[in-house]
Every structure is written in structure tokens, then in C-alpha cells.
Structure 1
Amino acid sequence: MTITMLDSAAGMHAMLDSSPDQWPEAARRLWEPMAGMYFFIPDGPDMAAVHGQNFGFGPSAPRQDMLDALHRLEQADAWNRMERALTQGTEDLATACPGVTIPDLTVLLILGDPTNRHFMDEIGGLSGFGGISGYIAITVWPTDEVLDRLEAIALHELHHNVRYSPGGIVWNPQTVTVGEHVVAEGLADLFAAQSHGRRGYTHFVTDQTRRSDDVLRRVVEGLDVTGMQDFAAWVLGDASARLFGSTPVGLPTGAGYAAGARIAQAYLEATGRTAAECVTTPAAEILDVALPQLGLTRHDG
């Protein structure tokens, strides 16, 4: 397999040097290699719009702030660090789970919008998507915390990508459950933590949320919810639910990640397996073992 880290630094410089009327075309050029990620949309989406949907910076973003942020990524050797992490991660997954499908990867790293308060404050300058086989898109704002976690961020999305590649778990938007999403987030964090310890855990989830039994029980109440329209509330929390126009369910930001990590950890402890070995393990199997270990059932509430 091959890993293609796109030269997004050059593409972002081009966007920053574009006039407002030229900016959308520059954004489309940056995102063009990712078009295959949207194979399920007839004729494909407008990739300039996709950029914005991924919290990417817009033409009105403060130019000097953007140049400074881009410089920070370049000085941190972000692209090479993430590529090395992905290379090692694919080797770890192939060793732990022989026969698993590891696709060729196209990876896009972009800067987010510093004027978007949800992106900056609520989710800590991080938005990642790795759920379509062969493509990973990561949006960041280069805080010290984000820069420290670049490898772990890449590994988290890699675990998702392999999980949903051919031969792995089938993600059907109409029938997939909150339980699958929650378990996947937990396994991905634990996979990153195998290599990077505490830095492996998604940083916009607070320690209080991770420790809260109330949060865990509330997420467990939603495990059987189907259909992606309600996932934001159960996985990302109420703030994201409001942003995306779905109904809040009384959960803090990153609740599904916190619950997923506890559920996945309980399963790993009970079975002696690793998160890498469980990259294609069905969520139902993990939940059936983990919930009793945690003193919970699917119908707790």
C-alpha cells in the first residue's frame, strides 16, 4: 500500500494569495485529489463547499494569522510526522490483524477557521474524517496541544479507515447504530494510545467527561439509536448537535468518545486483545462483553 500526503501547504498558500473571487477555485484544486471520498454523490459535491464543511478557513480569515499558523505546521514538520505515524500504524495493524484490508491512503491536512468558535473552543481546533476507505481529511488549528498530538490524530483516523475498508465493518447510513460509532471512537483512541500514551486520547474530551459514570450511562441509553442524523448528539455532544441541527440529549462534548474508550477498554481487559487486533471486531461483540464488565446493560437508564 502507498500513503500519499498531499502537499496542502502549497495549496493553502495559493488560497491565501487568491482574491475572494479566485478563492473557491483554489480551494477546489486543493481538495481535488480527495474527490473520490464522495463517490456516493452523483457528479460529486462542490469541493470548495466541502472545505467549509470540514471547518476549513474561508476567504475572510485573517491572512497574517493564517500565514503564521501555516508556518507553525511547517516548522513542526507536520506532514512528515503524520506520514511516518501512518506508515508505522499500517504495519502495526497488518501485524496484529493478518489479512485485514489496508487501502492506499490519500491524506489531506488543512488549517481550520480561527473565527469559528465551535471549531476553536468546543472541539479544540480539531476535526478529522477517516471513515471512507482510502481517504483521510484532517482539519487543525496548530495549538501546542494539537501539534503535540499530530501522530495520534493520524492514527485515530487510520483505525477508522481500516475498520471501514472492504472486508471490515460495513457502515450503512440508514442502519448503523450509535453503538458502532461509539465503539469505533473508543477503539481508535485506544489504538493511538498504544503508541502515544495519554496523547492518544482525543483532547477535546475533558477528564471529567471521561470519568463520569452519568455520561457513560447516558450514552449507553442511546447505543441502539439508528440513522446518522442523530449521531452528533450521542457521540460529539449537545453543542455539536445544535450546530448540525439535531436534538441535544444532555451530553457534554465528546461524550461518545469518553464512553467508547471505557467500553473498548473493558472489552480489551476482558479478552486480552489490543485495539489493533480489534480493528474489524463488530461493535455488538464488544458491547456484549464490555457492558457487563462495567455493570451496565443496553437498557440501563
Structure 2
Amino acid sequence: MNEFKVTLVDSLAFYQKCLRESVDENVFRYEMMQPLEGMWQYLNAPLFPKTPGGYDVVMASEMMGIWTPRKSIDLIESKIEPLRRTNIFSEYQQVFKESAQRFSEIGYQIPVDEFIANILLGDPENGVLMASEGYSGFGGIPGYIMLLVVPNDFNQTRLKSALAHEFNHNVRFTYEPFNHGDVSVEDYLVIEGLAEVFAEDLYGVDQRGPWVQEYDAEELAYTIEVMKDGREARGFDQVSAYMYGDEVAKEQGYSPVGLSRNAGYTIGYHVVKAYLKNTGKTIAEATVTPSKTIVKESRIFDE
């Protein structure tokens, strides 16, 4: 049986403080980011910059699309109450419990004693975040999960699913650690496919994120062919072009490869669904299965 502690950063209290008084970036640094310091250390983002104006957790947060007090409170003032009303702050424990139960059922002991979760308001001026219906997450370091949200009609009902998606990443990376600098397209396809199918398995297809696109047969076949040719490409700059598509690749300064938005997420989803269908495995079992086995037995790239 998987047993662990879940600690949720009190982000709502921080945002209420921002409404009442002038809050600077250091309050954000200590109250919102210091609980995640272990994650930031792994990502080489220091709590304080080593030189004035240098890279630190505040800059890293902004790059991810998180609102910080460096920006106007006007951007999030009307978003605080909708975030509270999503109910994720009362339901998050249940998401962890239901997600962990799937792994208990297959006898996989998750080697994490405590999960620290932080549900943050996103920056409405961040184009990449807003292109994914105003929400995203990060679960790349086991024991730490972030959701970032600009609440809207689409995402406010999907935060349990998004949290389960990130939990699956956490578990996956206890089995196959994530190598940001040397990850392959094939690896990333599987990583994202596993997470979204896991969330779908728990909460239903109607709670699926916007990163899985509805392709017609022609576009699906074309996209699979492009992925087949590029799936051994390595390094996050290469991988990003395949995963996020040409539009985001151009925005982030990467070379486009001829793909629609979120192409890699979509194909990864189909790879994992095909693997489960062909093998009869559960999504929890697939989560602790090597990427190459999943791709091979999905037979997606065989033709």
C-alpha cells in the first residue's frame, strides 16, 4: 500500500495578501517558491540570483508562465476567486489517493515519502500558456507537482485530471528518471502519452486536456510518419519542436519540423492507447514499462 504525506502550499493565502497589500518578489520567493526549493535546486534555479538580475526561481517561474509580483496585480485580481471555486483545494488529497491506489493494485511501491504540491495562477500574458486553454503543469521531479492556471470555463473542471497527469509523471520518473538534456522524441511521446491516458482512465475522456488533438485520418497518418522519422532526435530543443508543433517551436526559437500544435502529445496518446489495446496491460503497468517496449508493442510506427 502506498502511503505518503501530501503538503499543499497555501497559494490562496498568498494571493489574498497580494490584494490587501503591496507584495514584492521576495514574498513570492519565500512563500510560494521556497517550499519547492528541492525541485528548483534540481533544475539549477537558485532561490536568489547569484548576480543582480540573474537567473533565479522568480525568473524561472515567469518563463514557465507563472504570475509573479513583478507584474501587475490587475492581471490576476479577477482570477483568484474563480481559482478557489474550482474545488481543487479541497479535492487534491483525493486525487493523490486515487492515483496512488492504481499503483498499489499492481504492487508498485512509489519511493516518495512526501509530495509537495503548488497550485498557482498563471500569467494571462503568456502566449504559450494561453494557447493550452490557460493551464499547464510540471511534475518532472518526483515529490514536487505544480499546476498553473488562468481559470476559465474549459480548465476549471479539469484540474483533478491535470493533477493526476502530473502525478503520473512523478511516478514515471521514479522508474525511468527524466534526462532533460538527453531525452529523445520517442521517450517524450511515451511520457506524455502515459500521463494523459492515466488521467483519462481516472476521470474520463471528457476531462482530457487540450494537448491531445483530434486529427482526421490523413493528418494522423502524416504526423505519425514525421514522428517515425524524428523519434530518435535528442535534446530538449529538438524534442520541443516535435512535441509542441511548429507554432510554439517558432515562438521559442526552435526549428519547426512541419507539425501541428501539440503533435507529440497527440501521437504519444495514440501510442499508449495502442499499447494497452495490444497487450491488455493497465495504464499503471504501462507507467512502469520501458519506453522502447511500449513503442514497439504499440506497433504505431510499423507501417
**TM-score of the superposed pair, with normalisation by structure 1:** 0.88
CA distance in structure 1 between the aligned counterparts of 2:7 and 2:118, rounded to whole angstroms: 9
Q: Which residue of 2 aligns with 1:117?
A: 127
CA distance in structure 1 between the aligned counterparts of 2:43 and 2:211, rounded to whole angstroms: 31
Matched, 1:187 2:197: no
Letter in 2 for 1:194: D
Matched, 1:235 2:243: yes
Instruction: From the superposition, tell whether residues 43 and 274 of structure 1 become closer, same or farther in structure 2 (CA, over 3 Å).
Output: closer
Letter in 1 for 2:141: I
Please say if residues 103 and 109 of structure 2, whose CA atoms lie closer than 8 Å, have aligned partners that are also in contact: no
Please say if residues 6 and 108 of structure 1, whose CA atoms lie closer than 8 Å, have aligned partners that are also in contact: yes
Shift of 1:70: 1.0
Q: Which residue of 2 aligns with 1:275?
A: 283
Please say if residues 9 and 118 of structure 2, whose CA atoms lie closer than 8 Å, have aligned partners that are also in contact: yes
Please say if residues 118 and 145 of structure 2, whose CA atoms lie closer than 8 Å, have aligned partners that are also in contact: yes
Q: How does 1:130-279 map to 2 (within 5 A)?
A: 130-165=139-174, 168-208=175-215, 212-279=220-287
Secondary structure at the residue paired with 2:287? coil
CA distance in structure 2 between the aligned counterparts of 1:269 and 1:205, rounded to whole angstroms: 18
Shift of 1:114: 1.2
Shift of 1:50: 2.4
Aligned partner (choices 7, 12, 26) of residue 9 of structure 1:
12
Instruction: From the superposition, tell whether residues 201 and 41 of structure 1 become closer, same or farther in structure 2 (CA, over 3 Å).
Output: closer
How many percent identity over aligned positions? 27
Letter in 2 for 1:136: I
Instruction: From the superposition, tell whether residues 216 and 17 of structure 1 become closer, same or farther in structure 2 (CA, over 3 Å).
Output: farther
Please say if residues 211 and 265 of structure 2, whose CA atoms lie closer than 8 Å, have aligned partners that are also in contact: no
CA distance in structure 2 between the aligned counterparts of 1:55 and 1:43, rounded to whole angstroms: 15
Instruction: From the superposition, tell whether residues 137 and 57 of structure 1 become closer, same or farther in structure 2 (CA, over 3 Å).
Output: same
Q: Which residue of 2 aligns with 1:37?
A: 39
Instruction: From the superposition, tell whether residues 62 and 205 of structure 1 become closer, same or farther in structure 2 (CA, over 3 Å).
Output: farther
Consecutive unaligned residues of structure 1, counting only runs of 5 or more, are none
CA distance in structure 1 between the aligned counterparts of 2:157 and 2:284, rounded to whole angstroms: 22
CA distance in structure 2 between the aligned counterparts of 1:95 and 1:263, rounded to whole angstroms: 23
Letter in 1 for 2:11: S
Letter in 2 for 1:245: G
Q: Which residue of 1 aligns with 2:52?
A: none
Q: Which residue of 2 aligns with 1:72?
A: 82
Matched, 1:85 2:99: no
245-254 or 97-106, larger mean C-alpha shift:
97-106
CA distance in structure 1 between the aligned counterparts of 2:67 and 2:152, rounded to whole angstroms: 16
**TM-score of the superposed pair, with normalisation by structure 2:** 0.88
Shift of 1:73: 1.4
Please say if residues 161 and 207 of structure 2, whose CA atoms lie closer than 8 Å, have aligned partners that are also in contact: yes
Secondary structure at the residue paired with 1:260? helix
Q: Which residue of 1 aligns with 2:26?
A: 25
Q: Which residue of 1 aligns with 2:61?
A: 51
Query: For each residue in 1:181-214, what CA deviation from the matched residue of structure 2 results, as whole angstroms up to 9, or x when unmatched?
Result: 1111111111111121113422244323797221
Q: Which residue of 1 aligns with 2:53?
A: none
Shift of 1:174: 3.6
Shift of 1:267: 0.6
Shift of 1:106: 0.4
Instruction: From the superposition, tell whether residues 209 and 201 of structure 1 become closer, same or farther in structure 2 (CA, over 3 Å).
Output: farther
Instruction: From the superposition, tell whether residues 181 and 90 of structure 1 become closer, same or farther in structure 2 (CA, over 3 Å).
Output: same
